[in-house]
Amino acid sequence: MSVVEYERRGAVAVVTMNRPEYRNAQNSAMTYALDEAFTRAVDDDEVAVIVLAGAGDHFSAGHDIGSPGRDVDISFERKAVMWWDHVGRPGGDQRYAREMEVYLGMCRRWREIPKPTIAMVQGACVAGGLMLAWVCDLIVAAEDAFFADPVVRMGIPGVEYFAHPWVLGPRAAKEVLFTGDRFSAQRAYEWGMVSRVVDRDSLADETFQLAERIGKMPQFGLALAKRAVNQSEDLMGMRAGMDSVFGLHHFAHAHNAEVGTDALAGMDARAMKKAQG
C-alpha cells in the first residue's frame, strides 16, 4: 500500500495521504511521495487543479513523532534545498539540515506549485497537518474538521512553516499558540483561514465542484494570479518572517536538547495527545 495515492478525475488531480491507521502522520516517505505526486500533477497538461486529501477520518495529525514508520534517520534524495544530508550529523546540524529540507523547504516548494491547490480537510488537521493545509491556495473544511498548533507545549514557538500571523491574523495566531487549543472549522472560517465550511457528507462534492469551476479558467492566468498573491504575501513579510522564526524554532529545539533529553522536550505523540485533553 502506497503512503500517497494519486488519481485523476477529469481536470482534477487528487493527491491523497494514505496512512489512515496513523491519522496520516507525515513521515519522510510520505513527504517525498507527496512531492512526486505534485510533480506528476504539474507535468500533466490535462491537470488544471490539484486537491490534497487525507484518507480516513482525519486529514493529518501532523509530523510523525511516534509511528512504527518514523524515518528521521533515513536519507532521501533531497529536493527542496541545497544543503547536505542530515543523516550522521550531530546535534543542531542534523535538525537544521533535516527540517530545512523536509519541512520548511518542502512546504515552500509546494506553495509554489503553479496550479491551484485545494486542501480538503476532515477531522484532525494538527501541527504539521496545518502546514500541509496552509500551503494550499484554498481550504475546504468539513464541519467536523478541527485545527491546532500545540507545539508550545514542547517549548517550541509554532510549527516550522510559520505562516500563523499571515493566515490567522496576529491576535488569533497568538491565541492559537498560547493555548494550544483546538479550533473549529467555523472559527477558522471566521478568521479567514478556511475558504468554506461544508457538511461532512458533501465535502468531496463541494471540493470537486469548486476545483472544476476553477479548472475552467485559463491555466497560465491562474498560474500568474497565484504568483501575484504569493508574491504579495511575501511582500507582507511572510517569507522573511518565516526565515527569522525558523531560527527561533531551532533555538527552541537546541534549548530542549541542552536542558532535557531530546529536542521535543520529551513529548511524544501520546504525551501530546494526553496534554490536549
Closest distance of CB 107 from Zn ion, Å = 12
The residues in 92-131 that bind Zn ion, with binding defined as CB under 5 A, are: 99
Residue where the block lists cell 536519507: 75
Cβ–Cβ < 8 Å for 32, 45 = no
Strand 138-142 versus strand 124-126 pairing type: unpaired
End-to-end CA distance of the chain: 32
CB closer to Zn ion, 205 vs 262: 262
* Residue whose Cβ sits closest to Zn ion: 99
**Which of 6, 153, 151 lies closest to 164 in space, CA to CA?**
151
Query: CB of 262: closest distance to Zn ion in angstroms?
Result: 12
73 or 199: whose CB is closer to Zn ion?
Answer: 73
Name the strands in the sheet holding 146-148, side by side, starting at the edge strand that comes first in the sequence: 124-126, 146-148, 183-184
How many chain residues are in contact with Zn ion, going by CB under 5 A?
1
Compute the least distance from the CB of residue 152 to Zn ion, in Å.
Answer: 13
The amino acid at 65: I
Spatial strand order in the sheet of 4-9 = 4-9, 12-17, 49-54, 117-121, 138-142, 196-198
Alpha-helical (H) ranges within 44-136 are 91-99, 106-111, 128-134
CB of 95 to Zn ion, least distance (A): 7
- The grid coordinates listed for 209 are 465542484
By CB under 5 A, the residues from 57 to 86 that bind Zn ion are none
Nearer to Zn ion, 97 or 133 (CB): 97
Q: Which of 39, 36, 2 is nearest to 19 (CA)?
A: 2
Query: Which is nearer to Zn ion, 33 or 156 (by Cβ)?
Result: 156
* Closer by beta carbon to Zn ion, 99 or else 149: 99
- Could you tell me the smallest distance in angstroms from the CB atom of residue 106 to Zn ion? 13
101 or 137, CB closer to Zn ion?
A: 101
Closest distance of CB 99 from Zn ion, Å? 5
- 227/71 Cα distance (integer angstroms): 33
Q: Pattern 189-208, binding to Zn ion, x per CB under 5 A?
A: --------------------
Q: How far is the CB of 253 from Zn ion (least distance, A)?
A: 6
Pick the closer one to Zn ion by CB: 99 or 101. Answer: 99
Stretch 24-43 residues interacting with Zn ion (CB under 5 A): none
Closest contact distance (angstroms) between CB of 31 and Zn ion is 14
User: What values do phi and psi take at 184, rounded to 5?
Assistant: -80, 170
Quick one: how many helices (H) and strands (E) in the chain? 11, 9
CA gap 193, 68 in Å, rounded: 32
Nearer to Zn ion, 53 or 177 (CB): 177
Contact footprint for Zn ion (CB under 5 A)? 99
